[in-house]
């Protein structure tokens, strides 16, 4: 189930319960027959939502609300989490969608030129009684290679991607290597690190604000994370906490390879531990990192567009010059 659909259902359920309706009546009014039947047979709302494919972290929040008798607050927290999650996904898509679209369209245009445009020029050059310039010969050879081997290359790449996806799904070690490599990429790595830190700090903040112990909050965050970086980060902190270290000291011990490496963020966590306001400090870290991600995406959008335009302009200029260079030389001879 999509996050937007989950957000809509949780908000609607929150509004109906807040108006005074019982849970069963609210579900019936929403037309959720599956959940209604599950509740009627004695199952909990948590179980019913998990069977419908709700986000595991939202399910854990609602489970805490059912256990403590404060379901409304848990639904409110779940809706806030989903809203932030959707907003974060939109930011990441905004940062990566434009260059991907430009590169895809550019690849199609270049493929079309190598398949149809350049061969037509080659037929025209066949009537020339002179040797073609080396850029033109190189371009024509490239066109021959694309026409002869492009299908084979596409099949080979598709097979490699399919095999890699199969291996990636079945081997956790491959997933860990890929997740770690993604963090080392120049632009994608920074965006990914920020997004993971936002999710981690916001998850811990929400759980600890609901009265969940920090060890249990780390465990739930690790189990519900969809990334090995966050999982390993939580696991390493959990080991240090079990040995008697504080959260800030535990993070500092792995700061060289962790999501939290800035001194200001570690200081906020330390202040939160001393003052007893750790959930708010973690929420502040999430908000600060979200502002940083916004700024990074804005800078990326402003810089990547002219860079792509320059690169595409250079490619088109090289193609045009290579194709028309023999015509210019023939004009000079005549």
This prediction has a pTM of: 0.73
Write out the residue range of the structural domain in which residue 306 sits.
84-334
Query: In this structure, are residues 282 and 204 in contact, taking their beta carbons and an 8 Å threshold?
Result: yes
Please indicate, yes or no, whether residues 101 and 61 belong to a single structural domain of this protein.
Answer: no
Give the model's confidence band at 334: pLDDT under 50 very low, under 70 low, under 90 confident, else very high: very low
d(Cα 11, Cα 130) in Å, to the nearest integer? 75
pLDDT (tens digit per residue) in 163-187: 988 888 888 888 888 888 888 888 7
What is the total count of domains within the chain?
A: 2
* 176 exposure class (CB count in 10 Å sphere: 0-12, 13-18, 19+): middle
Among candidate residues 99, 308, 286, the one with its CA nearest the CA of residue 195: 286
Q: Find the DSSP H helices in 31-70.
A: 33-40, 45-51, 56-68
Run of H or E residues at 150: helix 134-170
Neighbouring residues of 7: CB distance < 8 A, sequence distance ≥ 6: 79, 82, 83, 86
Give the model's confidence band at 284: pLDDT under 50 very low, under 70 low, under 90 confident, else very high: very high
Query: In this structure, are residues 86 and 202 in contact, taking their beta carbons and an 8 Å threshold?
Result: no
pLDDT for res 256: 54
pLDDT (tens digit per residue) in 197-213: 888 888 888 888 878 88
| Residue after which a domain boundary falls, among 48, 63, 83 | 83
pLDDT for res 331: 59
Higher pLDDT, residue 255 or 75: 75
d(Cα 316, Cα 322) in Å, to the nearest integer? 10
| Residue after which a domain boundary falls, among 83, 115, 135 | 83
Question: Span 251-273, mean pLDDT?
Answer: 79
Please indicate, yes or no, whether residues 15 and 158 belong to a single structural domain of this protein.
Answer: no
């Amino acid at each position: 189930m999509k996050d937007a659909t989950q957000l809509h259902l949780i908000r609607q359920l929150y509004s109906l319960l807040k108006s005074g309706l019982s849970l069963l009546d609210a579900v019936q009014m929403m037309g959720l027959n599956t959940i209604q039947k599950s509740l009627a047979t004695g199952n909990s709302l948590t179980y019913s939502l998990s069977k419908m494919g709700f986000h595991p972290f939202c399910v854990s929040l609602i489970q805490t609300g059912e256990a403590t008798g404060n379901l409304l607050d848990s639904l409110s927290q779940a809706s806030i989490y989903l809203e932030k999650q959707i907003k974060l996904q939109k930011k990441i898509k905004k940062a990566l969608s434009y260059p991907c679209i430009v590169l895809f369209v550019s690849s199609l245009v270049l493929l079309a030129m190598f398949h149809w445009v350049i061969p037509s020029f080659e037929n025209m050059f066949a009537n020339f009684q002179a040797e073609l310039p080396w850029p033109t010969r190189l371009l024509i050879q490239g066109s021959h290679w694309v026409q002869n081997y492009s299908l084979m290359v596409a099949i080979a790449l598709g097979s490699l991607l399919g095999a890699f996806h199969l291996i990636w799904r079945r081997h956790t070690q491959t997933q860990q290597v890929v997740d770690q490599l993604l963090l080392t990429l120049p632009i994608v790595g920074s965006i990914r690190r920020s997004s993971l830190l936002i999710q981690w700090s916001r998850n811990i903040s929400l759980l600890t604000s609901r009265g969940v112990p920090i060890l249990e909050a780390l465990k739930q965050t690790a189990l519900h994370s969809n990334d090995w970086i966050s999982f390993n980060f939580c696991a390493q902190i959990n080991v240090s906490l079990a040995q008697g270290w504080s959260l800030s000291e535990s993070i500092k011990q792995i700061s060289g390879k962790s999501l939290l490496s800035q001194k200001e963020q570690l200081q906020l966590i330390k202040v939160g531990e001393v003052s007893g306001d750790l959930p708010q400090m973690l929420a502040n870290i999430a908000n600060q990192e979200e502002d940083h991600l916004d700024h990074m995406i804005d800078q990326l959008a402003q810089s990547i567009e002219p860079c792509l335009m320059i690169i595409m302009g250079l490619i088109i200029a090289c193609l045009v010059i290579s194709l028309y260079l023999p015509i210019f030389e023939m004009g000079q001879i005549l």
